[in-house]
Amino acid sequence: MALEPSSGFVATSAMADLAADGALPIFDVERVQLQFSVAADFVSAQVANNVLILALSNGRILRIDLNRPEDIDDIDLPKKPSEVGVIRRMFLDPTASHLIICTSLGENYYLHSQTRQCRPLARLRGVSIESIAWNPALPTASTREILIGASDGNIYEGYIETSTEFYRKEDRYLKLLQKLDDGPITGLWVDAIPGRADTRRVLISTQSRLYHLVGKVGRGHDGSQSIFSKLFEAEQPKIHELPRSASAAAATSALAISPDPQEASRFPGDLVPDRAFAWLSSHGVFHGKLLVSPVASELGTKVFSEAKLLPRAQLAGKEVAGRKRATTDYVDAIALTQWHVVSLVGDRIVAANRLTGLTVYDQPILDQGQKAIGLCVDIQKNTFWLFTSQEILEIIVRDEDRGIWKIMLEMQQFDAALQYAHTPAQRDAVATASGDYLVGKGSYIEAAGVYGRSSKPFEEVALIFIDNNQPDALRKYLVAKLNTYKKSSVMQRIMIATWLVEIFMAKLNSLDDTIITGAELSETLNPAQTKEQLNTVRTEYQEFVNKHKSDLDRKTVYDVISSHGREEELLFYANAVNDYNFVLSYWVQRERWAEALKVLKRQTDPEVFYRYSSVLMTHAATELVEILMRQSNLKPRNLIPALLEYDRNFKGPLTQNQAVRFLQYVVNQLNSTDSAVHNTLVSIYASHSSKDESALLSYLGSQGDEPRFDPDFALRLCIQNHRVLSCAHIYTSMGQYVQAVDLALSHDEIDLASIIADRPLSNPPLRKKLWLAVAKKVISQSNGIKTAIEFLKRCDLLKIEDLIPFFPDFVVIDDFKEEICTALEDYSRNIDGLRREMDESSQTAANIKVDIAALDHRYAIVEPGEKCYVCGLPLLSRQFFVFPCQHAFHSDCLGKKVLEQAGPVKSKRIKECQVQITKGLVSGPKRDAMITELDSLVASACILCSEYAIRRIDEPFVKDVDDKREWLL
């Protein structure tokens, strides 16, 4: 079995204006083709949550899931129609979980979606149910607390749940809440008030009245007691009553509620469409919004006061196919879409817009003599159905909010119109109209934001605000307009952004003037509020700069802000665009060194430090050095000009010199090897006015044998500034001891010269020369010979004879008689020692001659079985060599080994000798000499004991060519 759309009904010309853009009409009706057959007519139908319930005249009930229409649940009532009557009507909750079936003989049954068995409702037997208000919580396991309206005017509260136990009843309780005396209860609705968990609203409709109750309900106890009793007892309903007429009793009365909004998520919280209600009566359709505030008894009054009446004559009286229907036709049923009232009038479907009352659809649907049995709405799925005894028709609703924006716009509900405007052109039209409306009301600030989203000419809008002296509105409009331009619109963005800067500055100046003078800005703004507004505008300016700094031209902005004298705003902009050069220049020009240093602390660009180091070093040296020492990416060489300029003007001690402090940090902590840095430090040390050389000497001593400074440069500086000790140290480090001693002696630094003279310990002649220079100076300055001789005893190289030439020509020998005697005794001892050495040398020479003579008679004993240490064959088998260490080798074996280990020159000569001797290229004495030479080359040393063995220390004992099994054994 399946449900398929068949032929449809198209819209009439009444809705042509809403479909003029070529879109499909809003409403259309399609017949659903039934792919199954039944032997009985439909007597009632309900749709909810895509589930279709059909009641047949033979007492059967068909339950069809529209998502799977081929599956049909065929359910029978417990008793035959002849016993309980035919099914009169059914009530299906929005979740399609609970179904209540009412028969013509007053029997009521309950069917749950999870069962196929209808259970009788004993407590409701005999109650002719006309309407049911389902629990707003939409439970599925049970109905929870529901309201039941009867044909006798009674309103009951019930609680129904499915049960498989025989002795338990489905209806837990049934309580009579109220009895109305104006006929059947034709409609009931209960909903919860948002944010009020214990508050409910109840709508009740009868033939001539519509009731509205709102109030608190009692707490539920799982169906053990009533919760609506408290509401009905404590609250008095608000009533909308129609004038009684003769035709009122014959007219249909019904209550309809709009379905759930399908796109509620796209609306802001305060613009979600309110659910609507419609009450069908003899006068027409009374409809309005189900407002949710204020939560009080007056809510009903407000709901009814804002509701409208769609007259019956407007729905029933319509010219169709050239003839006009009688206006006495009644509306048989109604349904609500989100924006329209759909009415069944005889054989026609009529749809009217709720906001305007205009009919947008009027089409005959039913055949001649055909009668509808119901007009149903699936509240959750937003589908609409019309049933006859043999057919099912679906009312198709397409984009029904397509024209709502225009209606809202005409009603001057601009926020709502903007929500329903789908295209840019529609949104622009709404924004333009909204802005014009706000300007007409004098709400320029609000109009500015709206105009910023519209396409209204820029010049026209700007002039509106200028002519009306509304700078705040103009500022807001320009900000909004700036956000609408694309990044590619560079010129427009720059012009508007620059204009905004000018407006901001003028506004800030105006507020400052107001605060300074103490006058009130306006009748409604006192000085305290003016200060608050000043902070607000300044914050707005800062946010604007941070967001649109790429749209601002620096030079232009600097000129604009400077012309207004806004120092704080000027610096904020410069910081925002990272123009720290401007900020630093600004503070330096005003000699605000503390502010300049604060800016410098946040910098990492080395060029900024290089550019401002000279002036800051002059005026805030200590703080600047602290900052410089925290930077790791600076090149100290580039800071040298600033350091030298600072040192040139510095008059204090070296311990307070910040240039020295920084250079010491670079040298000692950063371990700089840059000669320029070291030369600068030497220059400052050397050129200082103090005579104390300890700092310079300490630095020179720390440099060791490989100084980083330029010795020639340092020497020139030290000589120029008369730094004797330092010059001597430099000369000494350069190995120029003679110059160092001469410099010390030229400045009468005898002790320093003596220390330097003792330095070249590895060069005794030079040391003696240096000490002779010192001796000459000491003797020339000494008042007494004794004193000079005692001083010169500090050197062990000088003798009395070395000093005699430096004494005056006329000297009494008694002054150094002891030294002469001592020298003569030393000479005597030296002569005796030389004589002994000569005798020992003669005896050694004689012994050597004896040993040489004995070499010709030296021999070695070779045993008969002795073998060659190389090849292992008997030694006596061919020519061999025997060494004093008793190692013996065949001459050819020894030659091979020597060739393997000898150098290239020696190997080449051995091969040449072997070739010439073997091939007989030489003869006679030359051959004998060459054999002697070959023997000396080959047998110069034992290959197992001499240096040959040492060279083979890294050779393995077992080689790859050896038989390793021998070694294993």
Which of 369-378, 515-524, 538-547, 707-716 is predicted with the least confidence, judged by mean pLDDT?
Answer: 515-524
Q: Closest by alpha carbon to 18, among 351, 347, 375, 382?
A: 351
- Provide the pLDDT for residue 263: 65
* Cα 331 to Cα 333: distance, rounded to the nearest angstrom: 6
- Provide the pLDDT for residue 914: 78
Over residues 211-235, the mean pLDDT reads 87
- Provide the pLDDT for residue 693: 82
- Provide the pLDDT for residue 7: 40
**What are 528-559's pLDDT values in tens digits?**
778 888 888 888 888 888 888 888 888 998 89
**What are 654-700's pLDDT values in tens digits?**
888 888 888 888 888 888 888 888 888 888 888 887 888 888 888 88
Over residues 627-648, the mean pLDDT reads 87
- Provide the pLDDT for residue 14: 36
* Average predicted confidence (pLDDT) for the chain: 82
Q: What is the CA radius of gyration of the chain?
A: 60
* Cα 219 to Cα 855: distance, rounded to the nearest angstrom: 136
* Cα 334 to Cα 395: distance, rounded to the nearest angstrom: 12
Q: Closest by alpha carbon to 334, among 288, 370, 293, 384?
A: 384
pLDDT band at 788 (very low <50, low <70, confident <90, very high): low
Hey, what are 848's tokens?
């050597």
Hey, what are 598's tokens?
């604060």
**What are 181-194's pLDDT values in tens digits?**
888 999 999 999 98
pLDDT band at 327 (very low <50, low <70, confident <90, very high): very low
Q: Is the pLDDT of residue 149 over 90?
A: yes
- Provide the pLDDT for residue 504: 87
Residue 704 to residues 700, 759, 767, Cα–Cα distance (Å): 8, 15, 22
* Cα 211 to Cα 235: distance, rounded to the nearest angstrom: 12
**What are 459-515's pLDDT values in tens digits?**
888 898 888 888 888 888 888 888 888 888 889 999 989 999 898 898 888 888 888
* Cα 771 to Cα 774: distance, rounded to the nearest angstrom: 5
pLDDT band at 322 (very low <50, low <70, confident <90, very high): very low
* Beta bridge pairs of residue 240: 210
What is the Cα 341 distance to its own chain's centre? 52
- Provide the pLDDT for residue 55: 93
Beta strands per DSSP E along 93-186: 98-103, 108-112, 119-120, 129-133, 142-150, 154-161, 171-179
* Cα 715 to Cα 815: distance, rounded to the nearest angstrom: 42
* Cα 18 to Cα 355: distance, rounded to the nearest angstrom: 14
- Provide the pLDDT for residue 711: 83
**What are 864-904's pLDDT values in tens digits?**
888 888 888 888 888 888 887 888 888 888 888 888 777 78
- Provide the pLDDT for residue 96: 94
- Provide the pLDDT for residue 344: 92
- Provide the pLDDT for residue 527: 73
Q: Is the pLDDT of residue 351 over 90?
A: yes
What percent of the chain is modeled with pLDDT above 90? 22
* Beta bridge pairs of residue 7: none
* Beta bridge pairs of residue 72: 64
For residue 237, count CB atoms less than 10 angstroms from its CB and return exposed for 0-12, middle for 13-18, buried for 19 or more.
buried
Coil, strand or helix: which one is 4? strand
Which of 109-123, 305-319, 320-334, 669-683 is predicted with the least confidence, judged by mean pLDDT?
Answer: 320-334
Q: Is the pLDDT of residue 6 over 60?
A: no
* Cα 127 to Cα 155: distance, rounded to the nearest angstrom: 11
pLDDT band at 803 (very low <50, low <70, confident <90, very high): low
Over residues 282-301, the mean pLDDT reads 90
Q: Closest by alpha carbon to 954, among 885, 914, 875, 901?
A: 901
* Cα 822 to Cα 265: distance, rounded to the nearest angstrom: 122
The pTM assigned to this predicted structure is 0.59
Q: Which residues contact 39 (CB under 8 A, 6 or more apart)?
A: 58
Count of CB atoms within 10 A of residue 45's CB? Answer: 22
pLDDT band at 326 (very low <50, low <70, confident <90, very high): very low
**What are 19-75's pLDDT values in tens digits?**
444 467 888 999 888 777 777 889 999 999 999 999 999 989 999 998 888 888 999
**What are 734-775's pLDDT values in tens digits?**
777 788 777 777 776 777 777 777 667 667 777 777 777 776
What is the Cα 620 distance to its own chain's centre? 39
* Cα 344 to Cα 323: distance, rounded to the nearest angstrom: 19
Count of all residues that appear for the chain in the document: 969
Count of CB atoms within 10 A of residue 40's CB? Answer: 14
pLDDT band at 725 (very low <50, low <70, confident <90, very high): confident
In the chain, where the domains are located = 13-27+244-377, 406-571, 575-808, 812-858, 875-968
Q: What is the DSSP letter of 636?
A: G
Over residues 378-392, the mean pLDDT reads 92
Answer yes or no: are the C-beta atoms of 292 and 194 closer than 8 Å. yes
Q: Which residues contact 922 (CB under 8 A, 6 or more apart)?
A: 916, 930
Please give the torsion angle defined by the CA atoms of residues 191, 192, 193 and 199, in that order, rounded to the nearest 10 degrees: 120
Over residues 817-844, the mean pLDDT reads 74
Beta strands per DSSP E along 298-445: 308-311, 319-320, 323-324, 333-336, 340-345, 348-353, 359-364, 372-378, 383-388, 392-397
